[in-house]
Chains A and B, each alone.
Chain A
Amino acid sequence: MEIQNKKIDKQDYLNGREEILAAWPTGQGVSIEEGVKFQESLPESKRFASVLNQAVKEKRVLIQPRAGVALVDEHIELLKFLEEESDLLPTTIDAYTRLNRYDEAQKGIDKSRAAGHSLLNGFPAVNHGIESCRRIIESISKPVEIRHGTPDARLLAEISYAAGFNSFEGGGISYNIPYAKNVPLEKSIRDWQFIDRLTGIYQEEGITINREPFGPLSGTLVPPFVSHSIAIIEGLLALEQGVKSITLGYGQAGNMIQDIAAMQSLTELAHKYFGEAGFKDYELSTVLHQWMGGFPEDEARAFSVIAWGSVVANFAGATKVIVKTPHEASGIPTKEANLQGLKATRQMIQMTHDQCYFNIAELALEKEMIHREVDAIMAAVFEAGKGDIAVGAVKAFEAGIIDVPFAPAACNYGKMLPVRDNTGAVRVFETGNTPLPSDVLNYHKEKIRERAAVEERDPCFQMVIDDIYAISKGRLVGRPR
């Protein structure tokens, strides 16, 4: 399949959509015109892009959970339960729908009805169809985003937009590499160009639909420059198709200075690359995902991880934060709750004690590193694509220029290996083919050597495994037992 980063002709999109809509009966008769009309009827308070813009202006951090269950009424009930404490709401899609297995999703719906509780891990929006989805939008007073993990989400997008959802997570890279096994990258990028084009068509009709590339990827020790490069590429691809409201994301890695540097540099780098490509007329916001790796089983400890993510989102100036569970409990503490407070405190202390001060010089250094890393990757991607970012992205994955650690996709190179340094910042341990400048790589190596010396062991795969499980076991850095 040949792809290029070029705006899809509107008529070509409209000609091609019959086939998309025919994939499941609920797709029949989906009308963009009707969708625009329904979206126009929504008040500002239910418009995702407006609420985000307001937050950017006021420098507020908006709070958004993940949530989705199999049946419509139960899903509405769930969102209503979360509504007051959330600024933005989600509809998280189940894993069968994500793989376009609508017949299996249907079985999941039927079995959930029979069982009296949800057996699906999300809301199967395609199976429920437009009318049912609109009941969600009508029942909820806040903007609702579709959050999923679908390599080919063209039908889901058509149904969601027509139903009144006005933010849509995902992208051709970020919803392939961490979510699929055998989907060619050129196919998923092409399919997401169609979704971005549909977003652009709504935009031409005056309806801004927010698009959010998925920042955290595999959620496992992803160095900032890897996710930033992908976020910028997906942003460029979306802008080309006429998308105007973009939220770029990053998954909290754990070291506060690195995380703040990452969030700040994400905005700076996005403006730089979007501007260089000639785009000026767009709205940019950011999202921090609270720790996406393994959590402590103990709820009090989990709460501490959640709290740490909130601290970072705040200091990093994120527009919104995606929240992990459990939610904070309130009320006069029992003795049990008192104990939970102690545990939460311990978890926080153990995660922060390796990074006991907040140094501005360090922050500047981390930002400089991320800028240089992303510039090196982006230069290699543009070169690989001879100036075309879509072609470049595919070639960059083939060559390992972009390499996402611990991703399931066959089209991911899988040779780059990260590890934490002595302060918990994520560094590159095995370089693979990532074209980082040699002095930047030396910086990574030096940081890893510091940790190895403290732990009196050589850097090794066991160290990486220790890091992967560290937070679930109560600390940030996976120290030897």
Chain B
Amino acid sequence: MCKKTIVLGVIGSDCHAVGNKILDKFYSDAGFNVINLGVMVSQDEFIDSAIETGAEAILVSSLYGHGEIDCMGFRERCTERGLEDIVLHVGGNLVVGKMDKARIVEKFKEMGYDRVYTPDVDLQICLEELRADLKC
């Protein structure tokens, strides 16, 4: 079991709490030390928490459509604050309106996210990929 620390939260002004509570339970059951910041988390709050807890990954959720605005510049901000190697995952309904999945993934990978998930993803895949990214 991988006991590494990960930070979890819903970014921006988004208050969707249900998936967040489920992810918390899911990753905790998988053995991770989950720091769950809950809903409405700013980029700097994610980073503060990761620095404070020595987390190796930040898992960002966004359900309400503002993901594109809220997630912009996060990778740069992490680097700026000394988290050059942090693993960044993002998932949810990331943009306003219907957009081709491949385009969404491409868009967010360009922003510097290591993994990009849409809502239909099997959580087991997220878990396996997180373990691969953290080499555990």
Check if B40 is an interface residue, CB within 8 A of chain A: yes
- The answer, among A107, A108, A119, A406, for a CB contact under 8 Å with B21, is A406
Least Cβ distance of B91 to chain A in Å? 14
Contact of B15 among A149, A294, A465 (CB under 8 A): A149
The reply to whether B96 and A119 form a contact with Cβ atoms under 8 Å apart is yes
A465 neighbours in B (Cβ, 8 Å): 22, 25
Q: In residues 11-52 of chain B, which contact A (Cβ within 8 Å)? A: 12-18, 20-22, 25, 38-40
**B119 touching A104 by the CB < 8 A rule?**
no
Closest CB in chain A relative to B67 CB, distance in Å:
10
Q: Does B100 contact A (CB under 8 A)?
A: no
What are 18 pairs between A and B in contact, CB < 8 Å? Answer: A95-B14, A95-B65, A111-B69, A117-B96, A178-B15, A179-B15, A181-B38, A218-B17, A297-B119, A406-B18, A407-B17, A408-B15, A408-B16, A408-B17, A408-B40, A461-B25, A465-B25, A468-B18
Interface size on B, residues (CB 8 A): 23
Do B18 and A121 touch (CB < 8 A)?
A: no
Cβ-closest chain A residue relative to B69:
A119
Shortest Cβ distance from A98 into chain B, in angstroms?
7
B66 at the interface (CB under 8 A from A): yes
The residue from B18, B25, B65, B96 contacting A220, defined by CB atoms under 8 A apart: B18
Residue numbers in B under 8 Å from A121 (CB-CB)? 64-66, 96
- B68 close to chain A: CB less than 8 A: yes
A416 at the interface (CB under 8 A from B): no
The answer to whether residues A117 and B17 also contact, given A181-B39, A297-B120, A461-B25 and a CB cut-off of 8 A, is no
What 1/0 flags go to B113-129 for Cβ under 8 Å of A?
00000011000000000
- A157 at interface (Cβ–Cβ under 8 A)? no
User: How many residues of A sit at the interface, in one of the four size bands?
Assistant: 20 to 34
Judged by DSSP, the binding face of A is loop
CB proximity of A176 to chain B, nearest CB, Å: 10
CB contacts (< 8 Å) of A101 on chain B: these are 13
Q: Which residues of A contact B69 (CB under 8 A)?
A: 107-108, 111, 119
Q: Which residues of B contact A434 (CB under 8 A)?
A: none
Q: How far is the CA of A330 from the CA of B13 in the complex (A)?
A: 37
Contacts of B66 in A (CB 8 A): 94-96, 108, 119-121
Q: Which 9 A-B pairs have the closest CB atoms?
A: A408-B17, A121-B65, A408-B39, A95-B13, A406-B18, A181-B40, A99-B13, A408-B15, A220-B18
Q: Are A181 and B18 in contact (CB under 8 A)?
A: no
Q: Which of B22, B40, B97 contacts A468 (CB 8 A)?
A: B22
A120 touches B17 (CB 8 A): no
Chain A residue numbers with a CB within 8 Å of B13 are 95-96, 98-99, 101, 104
Q: Is A180 an interface residue (CB 8 A)?
A: yes
A94, A117, A179, A461: the one contacting B97 at CB < 8 Å is A117
Within the complex, what minimum Cβ distance (angstroms) separates A288 from chain B? Answer: 21
Residue of B nearest to A406 (CB): B18
| Bound-state Cα–Cα, A297 to B121, Å | 11
**Does A118 sit within 8 A of B, measured CB to CB?**
yes
**Cα distance, A118 to B68, chains bound together (Å):** 11
